[in-house]
Structure 1
Amino acid sequence: MKTVERALQEAVRRLPDCTDTPRLDAELLLAHAYGIERDELLLRPPTAPVPAGFADLLDRRCAGEPVAYIIGHRAFWNIELEVGPGALIPRPDSETLIEAACEHFARGDGPERILDLGAGPGTLLLAALDQWPRATGLGIDSSEAALAYAQRNAQRLGLAPRAQFRRGDWAKKVTERFDLLLCNPPYVAENAELGPGVKEHEPAEALFGGADGLDDYRRLAPEVGRLLAPGGLAAIEIGYDQGESAAALFAAQGLEPMLARDLGGRPRALLIKA
């Protein structure tokens, strides 16, 4: 009978051409095949035969389908989110925005009202609501598919009473002021190279921001000032090479953006204080 470790070793040999993290991908897929969490797979390896469906999962990954779509969920901050086709997969880099907000509100009670522009599957808003139990929030996205994931995630996490999601075009028709504004706009330039399977599977409207990747920042920059309550913070994700170019768009509106870096030391967010 094939052991868990042998199955993982064989999977790792198959995966390097389609992923930079073959061992991690193999562990996540095998745990999913067994119907258990990755931690359990590693700490208490099952003695039952390797599920026959594991081979199909590997085939899907080798064809470029993201692991998060295959297993149907992705961890972010302190929560687990359902994801799938039509929803942008949460990335660890986006946690930079939540970290910055935690630092900004460290000395107080935290934000009372939170706005997430481009909410996707609810990634940033739900992580923030989980972080600050007294807060309520509004998430806006143009995609019905993404909003359906967001609604289900809010329900499953017990956050639905505090989270409202609606379809919209960035901040149009939003007249309220918020203590915390979170935004991860599309910022990939049209001709930029992406990792395996990203362009083929994830929604283009959540990835690409025009020829230079800045189209949506041009639309957001004039809105941020009016959306922030006194003492509030806007945390807006950027590409690693957009620190100066994106910041200039907000500075032209009389704002004073500061740069936040991710764990790798790369520019990752613009922070704007009211």
Structure 2
Amino acid sequence: MTGVPASAAGGPSAAKGGPAAVSGAPSGAAPSAPSDAVSGTAAAVHAGAVPAVEVVSAAASEDGVDSGTKPARGKKIAAAAVNQASVWNIANLLTMLRLVLVPGFVALMLADGGYDPAWRSFAWAAFAVAMITDLFDGHLARTYNLVTDFGKIADPIADKAIMGAALICLSGLGDLPWWVTIVILGRELGITLLRFLVIRYGVIPASRGGKLKTLSQGIAVGMYILALTGWLATARFWVMAVAVVLTVVTGLDYVRQAIVLRRQGIAERQAALEETEA
């Protein structure tokens, strides 16, 4: 039987996985693709080109099994967040808390005629909690991939509800002129409607001015909720004046962005249509 390859003869090298088998020596029948992959990997490990640890790790990862190496902390948190991205996640729970706080805030604000300093302090605490959770729920949702359809709808509703309730209560009690409430709420509702109208062309991003507007509104309304006197009562007037100015300026800027976005979207559609017809 001289002249017959060891792999065909079933010799020791082939039976025990010796060099002839590992190196992928030719045989009478063409090996299958998995055999080639195993042989090539084994040969690479045998030659020292690929560390055995990396080969085991890659194989375990492809099989969906933990290779034993610890992933980065951020990756572990992100993976856990993806698995838990349901309605009952921390971001949505904070949004729900804000919605629950709205009727509680109104009850505290109007308790005992609406002018008791103690009840107003409790109302301020509820308003402060709502504003603080507003800062965290969106950040958590984006950072840990917890964005849900419920959150997209409920978050802006909760924001407008707590601010609207505070402004209406203050104006109803005579602490804040009605025109201020109308300007702020009109701007918020108008910009929300505008975003929906141009959503087909793109999304209007939140600007720094818009974030500063939200912060100034929260501080100003919070100061009006508290029963302040003296120079603090004067200071809250100017803080509210800044908030109103930012409200109007940023609102006009959003209108400008919406017009530009719509024009760009229409131009892109026409260009795409012309290319298709050509």
Indicate the TM-score class for this superposition, using the shorter chain for normalisation: under 0.3
Q: Between Structure 1 and Structure 2, which shows a larger proportion of strand residues?
A: 1
Higher-helix-fraction structure: 2
Q: Which has the larger radius of gyration?
A: 2
Give the structure-1-normalised TM-score.
0.20
State the TM-score, normalized to the length of structure 2: 0.20
